Each structure stands twice: as C-alpha cells, then as structure tokens.
Amino acid sequence: MSMEDQWPGEDVSASPEADPWPGTETKRSKRRAQAKVKRSESAPAVGGEIIVRPIDGDTARLSSGRNLRVWGIDAPELKQQGWDRAGQPVPIGQQSRNALMGVVSPETIIGQPVGDSYGRAVAPLTNDGLDVGNGMVRQGNALAAPTYLAADPQRQFEYMQAERLARLNGLGIHDTKFQAPQDYRRDPLPAPSRETVAQWWDTPTPLAGMRSEDEQQFLQLINDPKVPAVDVAKFSQAHGFVTDPADVEKARAQIEKTGIAATTSYQNYVRPLTDSGDGATGAATRGLGSGVLASGLDEAGAVVDTLGGTEGRESVFNSDRRLADIWSNNQQQNASILGFDDYAHPYAQTGGELVGGLLVPFGARAKTVAELARVGAAYGGATGFLGTDGSASERALGAAVGVPLGAALGVAGGKALEYAAPYVKKAAGKVLGRAAENAGEVAGGDNVQSVADDAAGVRVPDRIDTDGRSMGMAAEPEPSISQEARKPDYLFRDRPQPIDQPLSEAQRAALTRDIQPRDLVPLPSNEVRSADELAAIDAGRYAPAKIPDPRAELTRQTVRTWSGAEVLKVGPIDLVGWVRLRGGLADQGGELSAMGMNNAARRGMDFVGQEARFGPLVSESGAKLDDAAHAAWEAGYFPDHTERPTVNEFLDALRDTYDGHSRRYLPEDFAEVDRYANSVEERNAAQQARFEGDGKVWEDRSVAAGPDAPFAPP
C-alpha cells in the first residue's frame, strides 16, 4: 500500500503551532510543567479517534481534525535544518516527520492522555507493541523531554537512555550540528547554503553520550564528597544511565589519593552503565558468551557491531569515522552493558561465565591432566589478556598471571567433573527411572522394569538379593576423563598408515609394477650448447634506464576551502594545509606569532603549491586552539595518540609541520609520501650515474632493482 493510500483525505498544508518543549529543566520550563500537570486533570479526550497523518516529528493530526502531541519527546521543527561535517545543510525537520510517518498508522494505539499543550492532547503512542516515542528518540529523530516525564520515572529513564545511545552512535540528528528545538523556536539560526565560517566538529562526551549539561553536573556530583553516593545513583537514573554507588566511593578515594578531580576523561573513575532491558536471562546469556570467549565478548562483539550486525549501533555503513574509532565506541558500549550485568545480575552473569568456561575444555576434547592443563593455560592467558583494561604491557602482565591460574583451574575443574559424573548419572537415572515407571504403570504389564531400565541406561542384574538390592557384576569400567582412549585393533593388513612412515621394498615394487617408460616426463636440460644460444638468452637483458618522475607518484584532487572555493591540489595535505582549509586559527595569547607563523605561503617544501589559496593560517575568526587540537586528532593527524592531544602537543606538531621538520600527514597519505621520497632518491641516483658515465644509464632487466641497478653493462 502506498504512503498516500495509508494516509487518505488529509491536508498537510497546516503547520504545527509553536510548542516550547525544552530539553533542559529551567525555571520557565518548571512553571510550564506545573501548568501542564494542572491541565492534565481536564485533558482532552481522544477516545475513538485515529491518527490521520503526522504533521511533524512529534505532532499528528487526528480524525477529528485536532492535533495530538506525542508524550515525552521534542522533535525538530518541520523547517529546521542541521549541518553535516562538510558544512552542508540537512533537513532534519523533514527527516523527523518522515520517520514518524514510517512508525505510525491508523492502527496505532493512542494511550490515555496525560495533559494538553496549547489545546492539543498529549498522549503516548504504541504501534505493534512498541513505544513510538522511545523509538523516535532511539533512532535519533527526536530528543527526550524529561521534565514532562517526571511522573513516570521508568519511562523517563528509558527515554533519556535512548537519547544517550542515539547520540553516542551518531544516529539521525546527532550526526549533524543542530540547534535544540526549543532554542530554534525562540531564536532560529540562519541556514547558509554552504559553509561560510570555520566550523569545527564537536564530538559528544567521550564516555556515555550524555548531554553536555548533564555531564558537567554528573562530574560535580562525583567530585563533591558531601553528596551521598546514592544521590549520584538517583541522578544517573533520572538522566538515562546507571551508576554503581560502590564505583562512586572508589572514584572519590582515588581523587583524594591523587588530588586529581574527575574531568571529561573520567572513564578511569566512574563508568556509566547501560541497562539492555533483558534482565537476568540476558546477563546469563552474555556471561556464557564471555566465558567461551575468555572475557573477550565486548571486543568480539564490537567487531560484529562495527560491521553493521547490530541495529542502532555506529558501523562502517552509517559513519564516516575511522574504523578504529567505530570499533572502540562499540567496545565501550558493550563493556557498559556487561558492567550493568555485573552490577544488577552478578549471579546470573557469573553462572553463565562458569558454564562457558567449562565448555572450552570439552570442546577441545581434553581428558588427560596434561591436556586439561594446556587448555586451561591457554584459556587463562587469553582471559588475562582480554579481561585486563590498559596498555599492551598491562594486558601482557594479565596474561602472564592468567596462564598458571588457568592451568591449575583447568585440571581441578576437569577432575571435579570426573568425580561428580557418577553421582550426576545416578541421580539422572533415578529421575528417568521414576518417569519410565510411571509411564509403564499407565501402559500396564511386565514392561515397567524394562522401560525404566532402558530410560535410565542401566543393565538389569541376573539375580537379586533377598533384601531387594542388586548384586554387583563384572562389567567394562566407564572411561575416565583423564584416561587415554584405547585405540581399536586393526584386523586387516591393508590399512591406512602415517604419511611419514617409509615404504617397504615389497610396497615399492607393488606401486611401480605397472609404470611404463612413456609415463615418465623428460627432465629439462640445464646445458648451454653454443655461444649463439647464450647470446639469445641475454637478448634484451640490458636496456636504457628511464629516469623516474617523482610527481607521477602524487595524486591530484580538488579540495574545498573554508570559503567554499574549489582548488586543485597535487600531493597530500599536511597539518598546516588542513588548518588553512578550515579557516585558520585564532592567535590566542600570541602563541602563533611567537612561533613565527603567518599567512604567507611556505617555500622550499614539497606539496605546498596553491597553499595561499587554501585560506589563512592565522585569523581573528579562526578556531580556538583547544577545538582545533580535538578536530585534528579526530581527523587522523595524531594516529600515535590514543587520546586527544593537548594544546601544547598540537602547537609543537603545527610548528614542526610549518618549519618542514617532522611534518604531520594523515595515515592514508604515508604510502604516497614514501613513494615520492623513493622516486626522488632514484632520480638523483640516476642523474649522478649519468653525470659520472658516458651520458647513458642502463638497467638490468634480469634481476630485481636493487642497490647495484641501474648500472652500465660489462
């Protein structure tokens, strides 16, 4: 059915009324919330009405002609725009309206109204059993409105968590620069057709995707020892994440010990946790996977997430960031979910991990003590490496500790299972025997005992004691877990044998009995029979060498400057050129002037042609140094930094690049720079050889080029 057929007979020309649903709680918003609570007692009735068509991302037209506001969300206005990383406008208001159009229909269930907003009923919507408002927020098509959800704490938590995860994964409007809807309604910013000022991409909080104001307040609560840890946990619950009070106490002890307060890089202090909503069952399942993967579930799962295997996650298909950044983002989200399992469902998670860990030696068919020790050591080393957070050296130390522990636990666990197996089998036999006996009584006759014996997997003794106990019989003992399996006896002479076992004379004779002379391939000759044959072999070996052209190794591209102009660029763009393309830097404190940097084009360096047309290096309207350092790290000019560089590190790298000493390039340009340098070296060597010789340079085509080639023929 087409979209027009699904929404028949409705005029969409009417635009929604302004509705200031704020995303943050201010005095004005509190007064509006109180007024809305008062009006909720006389909320407009919507019984018997159906949704006809969405008006924008949070408002729909009803069959009566009135509008309905979706409870708890605030979507961009229909004409509102955002800007992508390239500075191009994105119609986020229309995208939000289209998203709502895709999840509601005339069959959508309208919940009990909770109030009214400018004459519109405010109510939750449910479609196919799913909360429409939560889905809009989770896909990044709307923001949560926590002020209006205060009466329903669980829904408030779910909506705020959905917004946090959408922002963390860069979904919908969170993949653009946009003005908050309530700010847009009050004072809309202009939407330029192209980028006219330098815009630096400001990524959200590095830890949990919180709103910036929530993050700052959360940090203040962590750093204030007078605030009880339980109050910090309550704040977290109201803002869409979970905090373990024990982590808060540990963080404050660390702050008191080191004197370093928690900042935006506070992942070493308190890690916000994510509730996946599947309870103890989900925690046990993830624990099982973590046990099988030696505590590497978050890393392995991040690979699947990065490749687009999980809906609602950042992946290579919906993000233009570097692969390592996407994987790291997903790994941290997985670790946050596992951390919540450990906090809320520790027994379920631990039980799953134990079962998963015990499956490893059985999957490897380990039975003897040595086999159990080897498998346990490998598993312990992997667990120590993957389960340790930190640098490679810290993980290696964790692996070294895990190897002996894994070996000991592998042997102990295997032997414990071996000793417990008979008792488990006996208990299972009794249970199955009683079940079979009950079934036999229903069927009647003398088959009760045989059915029970068959179900329990036991043998019936030949005779029974007078007291009813069975007498022991000689039987084949059950194989031990630590006992080598007995190899079967081969009864036939012509059986397979190892490939490295030498053949007997009789076997060789049998194999060569039917070989004919014509079956043998003649051996190639290695003899040169004449001088003419030798000359023919060397024909074309030496040829005039071609002087390499280093510029042929460079790529040609058209780049867009900060003002929107297009410039032809040959070769890679270093850090200075990248800054010029984005409108330059503000000379804060005279740092750039003190280092001798100005807007004049650099001379005497490779790849600096057309640089003056890129834009200014120093500009009053340029970016701040801190923002530029963050953006340069995100762009990839600091691949050796796991965290964003400091302002001093950024300035040092900029000065080195400006002076031409250790210039900063993107990692994908390293190969091109190396090819260019090698080509220059080869050209200089060829010109030197031509100058020293007779004006000709030869190359030997019979061997790979090396230090001795090209050279004159003998």
- Residues 453, 459, 465, 469: what is their CA dihedral angle, to the nearest 10 degrees? -60
Model confidence at 37: pLDDT above 50 = no
**Rounded mean pLDDT, 538-543:** 75
Q: Determine the average pLDDT of the residues in 144-154.
A: 91
Task: Over range 469-481, report the average pLDDT.
Answer: 46
Confidence of residue 388 (pLDDT cuts 50, 70, 90): low
Say yes or no to pLDDT of 158 above 90: yes
Query: Distance between CA atoms of 399 and 640, rounded to whole angstroms?
Result: 24
Higher pLDDT, 154 or 408: 154
> What was the pLDDT predicted at 193?
44
Q: Between 176 and 427, whose confidence is greater?
A: 176
Confidence tier at 43 by pLDDT (50, 70, 90): low
Q: Tell me if residue 501 falls in helix, strand or coil.
A: coil
Identify the band that residue 444 occupies on the pLDDT scale cut at 50, 70 and 90: very low
Q: Give the pLDDT confidence of 617-627 residue by residue, as tens digits.
A: 898 888 898 99
Average pLDDT (69-93) is: 90
Beta-carbon count within 10 A of 161 CB: 26
Bridge partner list, 69: 59, 122
Give 318-366 pLDDT, tens digit per residue: 888 888 888 888 888 888 898 899 899 999 888 887 777 666 655 555 5
Q: How far apart are CA 149 and CA 118, in angstroms?
A: 18
pLDDT bucket at 373, cuts 50 / 70 / 90:
low
- Structure tokens of 68? 């309905």
Q: What is the pLDDT of residue 611?
A: 80
Give 85-120 as a DSSP string: TTS-EE-HHHHHHHHHHHH--TTPEE----EEETTE
Q: What is the mean pLDDT of residues 648-655?
A: 91
Most confident among 12-26, 398-412, 689-703 (mean pLDDT): 689-703
Q: Read off the pTM.
A: 0.53
Bond from prior residue into 479 cis (ω within 30 degrees of 0): no
